[in-house]
Structure 1
Amino acid sequence: MLDLLDRHGAMTTAELAVSRGVRHQTMAATVKELTEAGFLAARAHPSDARKKVLTLTPDGKNAIDQDRRYRDGVLAHAVADALDDGEQLLLARALLLINRITGTIADSGLSPSPDRGPVTGAW
């Protein structure tokens, strides 16, 4: 959820719930925990005073950045341990192609089937 707010900016609890494919009450509990932990801040919605807009606090941004660095490190070590130099080069080339493919999908406006259930990533 922190990643979602970091990538897409401020959102309401309802928007977060829809984006993650969970019930509003479930997301509200998560929002409450993250707010109490100091990772989220809530402010009044500009056009609907009944709603709150959620944003990352500096601590929330730091937490997601630390998690990303950790995951990057784990992946880098696994690639170095599992693949020889030629395989690493092949993987790097494949990632460039995958980025082109996902860019095409993002640019096309295509999205997964609405009855598919929750997904990760931007689409």
Structure 2
Amino acid sequence: MDEHIPPVEAARRLRMVVAHLARRFRTAGVGAGTSRLPFSHVVVLEILDRQGALTAAEIAAVQNVRPQTAGPVLRAMEDAGLVVRTQDASDRRKQPVTLTELGREEMLAARMERERWLASAIDQHLNADEQRTLHEATLLLERIVRSTIE
């Protein structure tokens, strides 16, 4: 495959594949055991795991949604025991949201379920050479991501 593919075409195809893969993650079934968390909950749990305690407005900003959109999701998660809101000691108007132990367990279970689904798809549909190529492509994508955040 010595044919040069213009970067714009490679970017278009990659964007489409990544979007489709993201949709598959959302529909692959996430959650622990028989409980299936809505993907919106998994996203919030992942954000809190990576960034620590955040206000509802900060969570909404990370997701590029309005705070009014994040509010019902956070209330449902709080009711389910996945997150807890606390009072900020220096600014009583702020209520940082943090993961509970149950939230962390559910987030890890959902992550493992998505990884198992993807690992199974890789194992079933790619031969050993293709799996090595996929690994090499992943390293290249990581390099692109690192170069755009520095």
TM-score range, shorter chain: 0.7 to 0.9
Distance in 1 between residues matched to 2:46 and 2:89, nearest whole Å: 23
Distance in 2 between residues matched to 1:95 and 1:21, nearest whole Å: 26
Distance in 1 between residues matched to 2:67 and 2:139, nearest whole Å: 37
Deviates more, 1:69-78 or 1:21-30: 21-30
Residue in 2 that maps onto 1:50: 93
Distance in 2 between residues matched to 1:49 and 1:22, nearest whole Å: 24
State TM-score, norm by structure 2: 0.68
Q: Give the Å deviation of 1:105.
A: 1.4
Give the ranges of 4+ consecutive aligned residues of structure 1 lying more than 3 Å apart after TM superposition.
Answer: none
Gaps in structure 2 of 5+ consecutive residues:
1-43
Residue in 1 that maps onto 2:122: 79
Q: Give the Å deviation of 1:51.
A: 1.4
Gaps in structure 1 of 5+ consecutive residues:
108-123
Residue in 2 that maps onto 1:111: none
Q: How does 1:29-108 map to 2 (within 5 A)?
A: 29-107=72-150
Deviates more, 1:46-55 or 1:74-83: 46-55
Q: Give the Å deviation of 1:16.
A: 0.9
Q: Which amino acid aligns with 1:84?
A: N
Distance in 1 between residues matched to 2:79 and 2:92, nearest whole Å: 21
Q: Give the Å deviation of 1:47.
A: 2.2
Distance in 1 between residues matched to 2:69 and 2:144, nearest whole Å: 34
CA RMSD of aligned residues (A): 1.0
State TM-score, norm by structure 1: 0.83
> Number of paired residues?
107
Percentage of matched positions with identical amino acids: 36
